[in-house]
Amino acid sequence: MHLLIDNSNTLTKFALDLGGELSEWRGVIPTLDLSRTSVQNTLHGRTFEKVTLCSVVPDASNLIRSTLDQPIHHISHHSKMPITIDYPNPSKIGADRLANATAAILDCQGPAIVIDFGTAVTFDVLSKAGSYLGGVIAPGTASLRDYLHQKTALLPAIQLEEPNSAIGRSTEEAMQVGAVIGYRGLIREILNEVRLELGGEPKIFATGGDAELIGKGINDIDIIDQDLTMKGIQVIGTLNH
């Protein structure tokens, strides 16, 4: 039994690899709430022999490693992966981006672009030969949503949802248009430029918390898969334990 951990800035997610299939059971802890107790409570009753950790939060990673007794593989550019890396400083590539690229290349063999709608939105680009080339980092949707409320006296906090019209008939509706429809414009423009430079017909994947909301309005996206990162963690862990 193989425990998979996706430790991001916002959430830390747990799943089990059941001989090549992801378990239906999932554990989730807000990363700010991580502690030895919260991890132990989440994993209570789960049996596993090894752990693969994908982390972009060093302090949280250290806490997890100190809590678990099983052998842990911590994903990095040193990990065995089904991709090669063509990037000037591989140590600066986030573990989650390597996991996303791994899952994508197993699906299509390249070229590919993975968009991860997390705290930041990231684009990861794979060549036709399956080599990681680099990508794009932009503010996530929460940054746009929260910044206006925090930095202005009269604009309210909102929850992101699909606007009914491109012309907002209230302050909240106007903010929804900017945050959702406007954000899709950012994604499309980055995609257009990356595809022009990459060439070919890359398969485009989306994952992350806002992938469903934003992605459903972007026809260029081929696959929306909320398990994409975890699938990549599973593959890398299997190759390295």
For the annotated catalytic residues, the residue numbers are 96
CA Rg value for the chain? 19
